[in-house]
Structure 1
Amino acid sequence: MKYLKKYKIPFSGLTTGKHNFEFEIENSFFDCFEQSLVKKGKLNALVELQKQENMLIVNFTIKGTITLTCDVCLQEFDSPLEIQERVLVKFVNESWDENSEEIMVLSKNDYELDISNLLYEYINVSVPMYTRCSEQGVDLVCDPAMLEKLTEPTAEEDQEEEEKTDPRWAALKNIKNN
């Protein structure tokens, strides 16, 4: 995807030491990932890359807001997000089978680091399993109109009450007790 090309860091020409990069993450970033839990957001990713002879140390600081949908009232709200992560990038000649969350492996021939998948993963993992505007939002409460609709009895519940008072059913229940 052409949009994600701007999330690549060309490290081959960099000198040994620390280098800082800044990336804006907006709605078009999330559009590139179909299965993303987050569809909207405005985030800023500060990436500190420390280049060494045979490895890279990459520190991520991601701050901003993402738009979530409340699981109770279905209202969309902005939730603040702040993430601190670190990844080590090793260079090897042969294939490497041992992968971990903190260590990435690149070939010695690679010249750039694609961080788009890392950013996507860090943001989506930080989304809570159960979202609620009063908990993840800032100074928000659930929509009172929707909460009122949730507490009103439905037509099915009204019908169940009518069935409970029907004397024909009460007589059949007595048969079961014999």
Structure 2
Amino acid sequence: MQVSKYLKQYRIPFSGLAAGKHEFDFEIDNKFFDCYEHSLIKKGQLKAEVELQKQENMLVVNFHIHGTIQLSCDVCLADFDAPLDFKERALVKFTEEDWENNTEEVLVLSKTDYELDIAELLYEYINVRVPYYSKCSEQGENLSCDPEMLAKISVETDGKQKENTEEKIDPRWDILKNIKNN
């Protein structure tokens, strides 16, 4: 599968559309995330409902993205599905000049452009929602961490704590402590 061919389905040809609101639906699945080599998300099943409002010299694009993404728990290392449901908005302005200064909310296209590629926007909007720290019980629905893995982790940490308390204190430190008391 060629990456660019797959992402072509996330383009909206707006040049033939009449002024007003138009709605589009896009499915976002594992193949979408495979197109991005360093994606934080490898698996997911989402739907993007896109409302495009065409005006004379700009487009207003509203996104409603909902579904699930697969995350790995940072505590028990289990993979789990985390629900996502959010809305975003982008403004698209047209200009005849060469303009490279896109901002987070305003995109600039040439007046000769005839379609809007939303694949990059969808990718960014979804990846920004990945939590810095994922945990089954916090991002998952009705989930808790794997008790077997938690038991193994607690055994290891208890063993390390016992080792730390049993360390012999170097007698030279005791002598230095006496200096502080003088």
Is the shorter-chain TM-score for this pair beyond 0.5, marking a shared fold? yes
Contact 1:41 1:65 in 2 (8 A): yes
Query: What TM-score do the two structures reach when normalised by structure 1?
Result: 0.89
User: What amino acid is the match of 2:173?
Assistant: K
* Offset at residue 148 of structure 1 (A): 1.6
Contact 1:83 1:122 in 2 (8 A): no
User: What amino acid is the match of 1:66?
Assistant: I
2:167 counterpart of 1:163: yes
Contact 1:20 1:48 in 2 (8 A): yes
1:73-122 CA-to-partner distances (Å, cap 9, x unmatched) read 11111011011011111110002354321111000111110000000000
Q: Secondary structure at the match of 2:56?
A: coil
Q: Across the two proteins, how many residue pairs are aligned to each other?
A: 174
Q: Which residue of 27, 51, 55 maps to 2:54?
A: 51
Taking the aligned partners of 1:58 and 1:162, their CA distance within structure 2 comes to: 63
* Offset at residue 38 of structure 1 (A): 1.0
Taking the aligned partners of 1:171 and 1:49, their CA distance within structure 2 comes to: 75
Aligned to 1:37: 40
Q: Structure 1: which 5+ residue stretches go unaligned?
A: none
Taking the aligned partners of 1:151 and 1:160, their CA distance within structure 2 comes to: 15
Aligned to 2:72: 69
* Aligned-residue RMSD, C-alpha: 1.8
Q: Which residue of 85, 91, 95 maps to 1:92?
A: 95
Runs of 4+ off more than 6 Å: none
Contact 1:66 1:79 in 2 (8 A): yes
Q: Structure 2: which 5+ residue stretches go unaligned?
A: none
